[in-house]
Amino acid sequence: MNQAVFLDRDGVLNRAIVRDSKSYPPRSVDDLEILPGVAEACGVLHQAGFLLIVVTNQPDVARGTQRKEVVEAINRVLAERLPLDEIRVCYHDDDDHCTCRKPQPGLLVQAARDWDIDLPTSFVVGDRWKDIEAGQRAGCRTVFLECGDHTEIEPDHPDHRVSSLIEAAGWISQHRLQPGEKNGRKDNEVHS
């Protein structure tokens, strides 16, 4: 089975646009700014054998404030510049009650089926509680990226907290389990 690192997009790979203490995705390819260290972090994880799958909520499409073509263009640029295996998008809003909108785990579960991914030995890296909860519901280990750019509900018990994706890549590399290995150990019990 494969192992994956599921990555949120806005705030993890690229800079989120912050207005009135709320973060928003870039409005266009021109607004897209890949965060410092992201390419290096993705390279480290990819070389370690992890699949890199982006899982992102883009509800502005359902809300009519963004076009699907623009989201796809931004995703194409990210895929050209970073060693990503796939980008999966939920275009729904909360009122749609879909199974793919984080905190629901649908994007991760479907990717696991399609890529033969062992979820208990995989990781989710996100900057919002919804990312962490989706990872927990899917049975993955979770890494919360504390960016400090916006006010957000605190996630409930992520496995680890970091301030950058490169820091997350280092922690993930040190705490990798093999498929079938038990995931119940605490951070201080895991040794490289």
156 is catalytic: no
8 is catalytic: yes
Active-site residue among 10, 118, 127, 131? 10
Listed in sequence order, the residues at least 6 apart from 191 whose beta carbon sits closer than 8 Å to its beta carbon are none
Q: What is the DSSP string of the chain?
A: -B-EEEE-SBTTTBPPEEETTEEE--SSGGG--BPTTHHHHHHHHHHTT-EEEEEEE-THHHHTSS-HHHHHHHHHHHHHHS--SEEEEE---GGG--SSSTTS-HHHHHHHHHHTB-GGG-EEEESSHHHHHHHHHHT-EEEEE---SS--PPPS--SEEESSHHHHHHHHHHT---TTS-----GGG---
Residues with a known catalytic role: 8, 10
